[in-house]
């Protein structure tokens, strides 16, 4: 089982590889940007459930979408459309 630090690294490596901004990742996961920045800075991880959710429900499918060529997004979408496009991609990866 991965440690919390390994999970954080995996989450942010996947986010960066997919070229997803902190703001979009926050909107996608429902985790505040403050919490995300705290995690990446090595701060306290007080909400293990959210960490595990970000790790399993988002980072895995994002990584899979990168390997499949679906991410990073090729087109420059407006912010209100980016998160919806990301949700569709993640959902499609979760069912494969």
Residue 84, domain extent = 4-94
Residues of the chain with pLDDT under 70: 96
How many structural domains compose the chain?
Answer: 1
Cβ–Cβ under 8 Å, residues 44 and 54: no
DSSP state for residue 59 in the 8-state scheme: I
Q: For residue 80, give every residue at least 6 positions away whose Cβ sits within 8 Å of its Cβ, in sequence order, or none.
A: none
Q: What's the pLDDT score for residue 79? A: 80
* pLDDT score recorded for residue 96: 67
Which residue reads 């679906």 in tokens? 70
What integer pLDDT is reported at residue 80 of this predicted model?
80
CA of 38: how far to CAs of 8, 47, 51, 77, in Å?
10, 12, 12, 28
pTM above 0.85, yes or no: yes
pLDDT at 17: 97
């Amino acid at each position: 089982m991965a440690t919390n630090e390994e999970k954080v690294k995996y989450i942010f490596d996947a986010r960066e590889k997919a070229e997803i901004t902190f703001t979009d990742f926050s909107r996608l996961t429902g985790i505040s940007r403050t919490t995300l920045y705290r995690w990446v800075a090595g701060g306290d991880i007080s909400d293990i459930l959210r960490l595990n959710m970000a790790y399993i429900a988002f980072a895995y499918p994002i990584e899979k979408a990168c390997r499949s060529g679906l991410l990073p997004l090729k087109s420059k979408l407006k912010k209100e459309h980016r998160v919806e496009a990301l949700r569709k991609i993640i959902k499609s990866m979760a069912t494969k």
